[in-house]
Amino acid sequence: MMKFNESLTFDKTLYKADIRGSMTYAKGLRQLNILSEAELDQIVSGLKQVEQEWDEGKFVIDPKADEDIHTANERRLAELIGSSIGGKLHTGRSRNDQVATDLRLWARDQLADLEVSMKGVLRVCAAKAQSSLPVLMPGYTHLQRAQPVRFSHWLLAHATFIIGDFQRLKGIQDRVSSCPLGCGALAGNPFGIDRDFLASDLGFASVHPNSLAAVADRDFIVEILQWASLLMAHLSRLSEDLILFSTAEFGFVQIADAYSTGSSLMPQKKNPDSLELIRGKAGRVMGQASGFLASLKSLPTSYNKDLQESVEPLLDCVRTVSHCLTIIQGILGSLEINADKMRAALTADMLATDVADYLVLKGVPFRQTHHIAGAVVRKAEENGMSIAELPLEDLKGISPLFDADIAEVFDFERSVEKRSTKGGTSRSSVLAQIAAIESLLSQP
């Protein structure tokens, strides 16, 4: 039962948060004169020594006494300063509000680190989009060539999803910053401890408003897991595109050797294992989100030990997302773009919509021009040539409105530059998207 019940093997990661919360709680007890100034000093000094032992890898775990990080730290503190003083630290406090506080403190710091990592990815996206602005490529729907776009526009499409994830992260950070310390086991603190002080000293933005809810509130963990699932879905989709684009069949990009592996059998192989791992780990994070939500759904009010099952998914999820963001930033930063291959993949039939638009400007309703452009495509196929090669007389046979200026339509750069509205693929539109990312990154 000791092995089944213990959590120290994984929640020891929270040791800094646990010690920080204990120091603040000791200050709160000092305000109530439950601790003297000298006792507070001894407790704070002892906790710093415990933290140093963890930092240096010298903390000795007692397998018979240390059930979790809270009991381990308190046991060691009592050994260092004596149980008569160390034993006062837990006055009015429960492991229920203690672990809730630890998790929020730890998550807050980790989310701040993930925010920095996401900014790094967006910064690389903006820089790569800027440097590759002239590069044109096929845009796809249904994985079929559709219309020409800038490579920068494709990259910024993925960046746009990450911006959404970044904005959602901000909301989660606000909700994580609610302090449960001082709620006791479930009913509140009997000594009148100043919860506003506890929250302020720990840097929380607010006090959790209900003690019953506070000790059992893991909604912030659910939010983190679900947020991470969507972020990983986006990173997985980016990875899938890059995996396809790096194949010999596409040849649009080349993944740097640092982020590729070779085959154990075939010496010519260069595998995008980094991207495949990101794609695979997306499923892992999504599973953690659905798994913990299933654990949470039927719990009776207030704290239950089932909530211990929130810790491992949270720790693993944050670690996984952090690693994936670091790797994708490196992949994008070192990505080699084959502009010639992308240009060669552009075909005149991708300008069929531009043919329809040409007739729209001559007063023909679009529904009619769509059918006319379709007839142009069929005629070119019958003649075994591209629509750009069709003789003018053949075009006039389809519609008398075609004139010599139709030749101007068969220009990929012109087609791209016509899409100049906000969010479009023209140079000015792409530059505006880059500027928007740079503006976001400049905000504190």
- Cβ contact 77:50 at 8 Å: yes
**SS3 readout for 5-71:** HCCHHHHHHHHHHHHHHHHHHHHHHHHCCCCCHHHHHHHHHHHHHHHHHHHCCCCCCCCCCCCCHHH
Q: Are strands 144-150 and 336-337 parallel, antiparallel or unpaired?
A: unpaired
DSSP at 423: T
* Gap between the Cα atoms of 103 and 66, Å rounded: 19
Of these residues, 142, 264, 298, 442, which one is catalytic? 142
Write out the DSSP string of 77-129: HHHHH-HHHHTTTTTT--HHHHHHHHHHHHHHHHHHHHHHHHHHHHHHHHHHH
**Helix, strand, or coil (residue 150):** strand
HSE, CB side, 13 Å, CA atoms: give it for residue 127.
13
To the query of whether residue 84 is one of the catalytic residues in this protein, the response is no
To the query of whether residue 142 is one of the catalytic residues in this protein, the response is yes
Of these residues, 45, 83, 206, 263, which one is catalytic? 263
- Cβ contact 395:376 at 8 Å: yes
| Exposed / middle / buried, residue 361 (Cβ in 10 Å: 0-12, 13-18, 19+) | exposed
HSE, CB side, 13 Å, CA atoms: give it for residue 392.
8
Catalytic residues: 142, 263
